[in-house]
C-alpha cells in the first residue's frame, strides 16, 4: 500500500468513526425521549388518566381542545364510557382537564419519539452515513415503534366498553414492547461505542444476555401489577398478608388464570421475580469474577448488582408506602436504568460492531476532504 493509500484508509476509518459517533449520540437522545415517554405513561396510569381521550386520532389528535365548546365536547365523550359512569360520575370540567392533559402529553410524546427516530434515520441513510449492517436493526426498531402505537390504542380500547380500566394483559404488553424498543436502541448505541476491552468469554456473554431477558420479564410482571393495581394491597414486607407464602394464591379457576388475574398472586410472583433477579445479579458477579477477574466486565457486574439492589429497595418503599406517585415513578425509571445497564453490559461482553470496509462514497468524500 502506498503512503497516499494508507492516508486515505486512515481518513476513511476516521470518517466511519465520526459517523458512528453522530449516530450513537442520536440514539442516546432517542433513549432519553423513550425514557420520558415511559415515565409519563406511568404517571398517566397512576393518575388514572389513560381513558380520558376516547378516540385515536394520530394526526388531528396533536391539537388539544382550544375552546370551551371543544372541552365540553371531549368531556361529553368521556361521560359515555364506564369509567366515568361508575368511578368518576359528576367529575368537573377542571378535574377532567387534569386527566386529559396527562393522556394528551403521553400521546404527544409518543408521536415525538416517532419523529425523533424516523427523521434522523432518513437523514443518516440518505447521506450515506449509515452502515449497511445497521439498516435492518434500525428498521426493525422503527417497525416496533409503529406496532407500539397500535398496541397503545388496543390497550385503551379495552377500557372503553365493558371495563372501568384497561386490560392488564394489554397494559403489560404495551409496557414490555416499549422496553423492547428501549433495549434494542440501547444495544445498537452501545455497539457503536468504543470499548475499553475485548470480548468476554462465551459463557460470560451468554449469562449477560440471559440477564437482559430476566430484567424484561420482571418488567412484564410489573406491568401486570400496575394493570391490576395489585400494589395497592398487601402493603407489608417481607411478610405478605401475614405470611411468607400467603394463602389464596390459587383462589380462581382454572389455576393458571391466577398468574394474570388474581392481584395477590400477581404481586407475590412479582416479589419472587425481584428476589430471583437479585440472586441472579449476585451469581453473575461471582461467575464473572471467576471467568474474567480484574476486567471491566467483572467490575460492571458489581455495579449492576448495586443497581438491582437499589431498585429492589425502591420497590419495597413503593409497596409499603402504598404507591405514592413520586416513589412509584422512581421505581419505574430505575427499572429502565437497570435494563439499560444490562443491555450495555451484554453488548460490551461482545465487543463493538466491526468496522465495515470504506464504501466508494466514503472514499470519494475523503478525497474531496483531502483536496480541500
How do residues 331-341 score in pLDDT, each as one tens digit? 999 999 999 99
The pLDDT of residue 4 is above 60: no
The pLDDT of residue 9 is above 80: no
The pLDDT of residue 295 is above 70: yes
Percent of the chain with pLDDT over 90: 86
Q: What is the pLDDT of residue 371?
A: 44
Q: How confident is the model at residue 2 (pLDDT cuts 50, 70, 90)?
A: low
Q: How confident is the model at residue 151 (pLDDT cuts 50, 70, 90)?
A: very high
Q: What is the average per-residue pLDDT within 349-367? A: 68
Q: Which tens digit of pLDDT belongs to each residue from 31-83?
A: 999 999 999 999 999 999 999 999 988 887 899 999 999 999 999 999 999 99
Mean pLDDT is lowest, of 136-140, 149-153, 357-361, for 357-361
Q: Dihedral through CA 185, CA 331, CA 111, CA 33, nearest 10?
A: -50
Top pLDDT among 372 and 345 is at: 345
Concatenated DSSP letters of 168-233: HHHHHHHHHHHHHHHHHHHHHHHHTS--SS-PPPHHHHHHHHHHHHHHHHHHHHHHHHHHHTGGGS
Question: Is the CA virtual torsion 232, 234, 237, 238 positive or negative?
Answer: negative
Q: What is the pLDDT of residue 355?
A: 85
Residues in CB range of 14: below 8 A, 6 or more apart: none
Q: What is the pLDDT of residue 358?
A: 57
Q: What is the average per-residue pLDDT within 175-192? A: 97
Q: What is the pLDDT of residue 292?
A: 93
Residue 290 CA: distances (Å) to CA of 109, 183, 278, 298: 44, 27, 19, 9
Average confidence score pLDDT of the chain: 92
Would you say 323 and 41 are in contact if contact means Cβ atoms under 8 Å apart? no
Q: How confident is the model at residue 184 (pLDDT cuts 50, 70, 90)?
A: very high
Q: What is the pLDDT of residue 7?
A: 43
Q: What is the pLDDT of residue 370?
A: 45
Amino acid at each position: 500500500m502506498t503512503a497516499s493509500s494508507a492516508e486515505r484508509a486512515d481518513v476513511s476509518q476516521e470518517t466511519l468513526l465520526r459517523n458512528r459517533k453522530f449516530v450513537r449520540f442520536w440514539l442516546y437522545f432517542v433513549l432519553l425521549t423513550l425514557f420520558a415517554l415511559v415515565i409519563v405513561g406511568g404517571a398517566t396510569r397512576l393518575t388514572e388518566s389513560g381513558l380520558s381521550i376516547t378516540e385515536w386520532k394520530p394526526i388531528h389528535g396533536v391539537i388539544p381542545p382550544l375552546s370551551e365548546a371543544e372541552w365540553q365536547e371531549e368531556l361529553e365523550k368521556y361521560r359515555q364510557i364506564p369509567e366515568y359512569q361508575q368511578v368518576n360520575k359528576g367529575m368537573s370540567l377542571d378535574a377532567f382537564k387534569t386527566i386529559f392533559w396527562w393522556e394528551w402529553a403521553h400521546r404527544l410524546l409518543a408521536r415525538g419519539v416517532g419523529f425523533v427516530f424516523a427523521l434522523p434515520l432518513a437523514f443518516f441513510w440518505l447521506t450515506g452515513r449509515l452502515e449497511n449492517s445497521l439498516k435492518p436493526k434500525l428498521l426493525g426498531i422503527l417497525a416496533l415503534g409503529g406496532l407500539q402505537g397500535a398496541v397503545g390504542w388496543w390497550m385503551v380500547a379495552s377500557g372503553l366498553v365493558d371495563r372501568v380500566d384497561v386490560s392488564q394483559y394489554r397494559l403489560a404488553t404495551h409496557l414490555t414492547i416499549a422496553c423492547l424498543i428501549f433495549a434494542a436502541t440501547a444495544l445498537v448505541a452501545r455497539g457503536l461505542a468504543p470499548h475499553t476491552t475485548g470480548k468476554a468469554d462465551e459463557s460470560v456473554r451468554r449469562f449477560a444476555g440471559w440477564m437482559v431477558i430476566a430484567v424484561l420479564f420482571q418488567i412484564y410482571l410489573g406491568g401486570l401489577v400496575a394493570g391490576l393495581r395489585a400494589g395497592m394491597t398487601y402493603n407489608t414486607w417481607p411478610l405478605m398478608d401475614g405470611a411468607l407464602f400467603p394463602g389464596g394464591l390459587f383462589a380462581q379457576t382454572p389455576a393458571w388464570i391466577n398468574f394474570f388475574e388474581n392481584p395477590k398472586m400477581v404481586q407475590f410472583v412479582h416479589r419472587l421475580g425481584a428476589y430471583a433477579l437479585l440472586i441472579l445479579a449476585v451469581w453473575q458477579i461471582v461467575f464473572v469474577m471467576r471467568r474474567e477477574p480484574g476486567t471491566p466486565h467483572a467490575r460492571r457486574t458489581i455495579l449492576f448488582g448495586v443497581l438491582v439492589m437499589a431498585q429492589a429497595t425502591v420497590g419495597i418503599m413503593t409497596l409499603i408506602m402504598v404507591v405514592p406517585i413520586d416513589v412509584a415513578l422512581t421505581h419505574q425509571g430505575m427499572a429502565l436504568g437497570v435494563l439499560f445497564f444490562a443491555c450495555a453490559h451484554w453488548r460490551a461482553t461482545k465487543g463493538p460492531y466491526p468496522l465495515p470496509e470504506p464504501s466508494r462514497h466514503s472514499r470519494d468524500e475523503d478525497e474531496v476532504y483531502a483536496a480541500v
